[in-house]
Homo-oligomer: A and B are copies of this chain.
Amino acid sequence: MSESGATISGKQPLIFITNDDGITAPGLRALVEAMLPLGDVWVIAPDKHMSGMGHAVTFTDILQLSPHDYGMGVQGAWDCSGTPVDCVKLGIAEVLHRKPDLLVSGINHGSNASINVIYSGTMSAAVEGAVESIPSIGFSLMDERLDADFEAAGLVARKLASQVLKHGLPEGTCLNVNIPVGRPADLGDIKICRQAMGYWKDSFDRRDSPHGRPYYWMRGEFYNPDKGADTDIAALEAGHVSVVPIHFDMTAHHAIGQINQWGL
């Protein structure tokens, strides 16, 4: 696919946009609109809904890429049969042929604050960007509706993307940005936070198929016992935008000393 890569001008920042709601999602269009003034925009996004895919990668099956008529003045757009992380890996290797200057993912329809960062395909795409040393940001609006109002979220995305293009990000980190519902005039401050230690309390709807076989729908209710004022959840509850720097070093460094005392 070198013919597509050949059209990269190299004069403006190269911006890679993906998401997990799929290439037709309104949230993706809002993010494209927000990024267009900042650089050359490429869209490589899943060809279907990929919410909750976490950091899944496809190496036991094939991947397909198809050109997508996206409009809006993007340099190129492709839909991909894989997960958001597949889109990042395949997009860089086979469409762009070089590392982008910025990777943005979203704007997700629904929150990815707190523990949702590990379930979220939107955020996993941004984390994969960080693994590949690309300044990366995932954006999520706290409104799951297809017709959500992304105007305020788009302004936040443009502001933060400009700042990241200017300052870069510490090596191996990306940003998890969550934006409360509201009009631009209602937006609170931008708060740099830590991930709240919340979790989903799972439950399942058990139903029976027409053939008498049981099946289950996952449900769940989010709980947050972590009342710290420095958390993303606290910022969002106060009407602010939360920004959590995320890294992929999952080592619990504080636990090493304790386990060493077992005398293994």
Count of this chain's copies in the oligomeric assembly: 2
B256 in contact with A192 (CB, 8 Å): yes
Residues of B within 8 A of A246 (CB): 250-252
Interface residues of A in 101-135 (CB under 8 A from B): 115, 117-119, 124, 127, 131-132
Q: Which of B54, B60, B254 contacts A85 (CB 8 A)?
A: B54
Query: Which of the segments A28-36, A37-45, A208-216 contacts the partner chain?
Result: A208-216
B194 in contact with A89 (CB, 8 Å): no
B245 in contact with A255 (CB, 8 Å): yes
How many residues from A make CB contacts under 8 Å with B? Answer: 79
Q: Which of B89, B194, B197, B254 contacts A256 (CB 8 A)?
A: B194
B253 in contact with A250 (CB, 8 Å): no
Residues of B within 8 A of A203 (CB): 93
The answer for the CA separation of A250 and B249 in the assembled complex, in Å, is 8
B62 in contact with A215 (CB, 8 Å): yes
A176 to chain B, nearest CB (A): 8
B119 in contact with A55 (CB, 8 Å): yes
A168 to chain B, nearest CB (A): 10
A-B contact pairs, 30 of them (CB 8 A): A49-B60, A52-B57, A53-B56, A54-B85, A58-B218, A59-B220, A62-B217, A63-B204, A64-B213, A86-B218, A89-B204, A92-B202, A93-B202, A94-B206, A115-B248, A118-B124, A160-B264, A169-B255, A173-B252, A173-B255, A189-B264, A190-B264, A192-B256, A195-B249, A195-B251, A243-B259, A243-B264, A245-B252, A248-B250, A250-B250
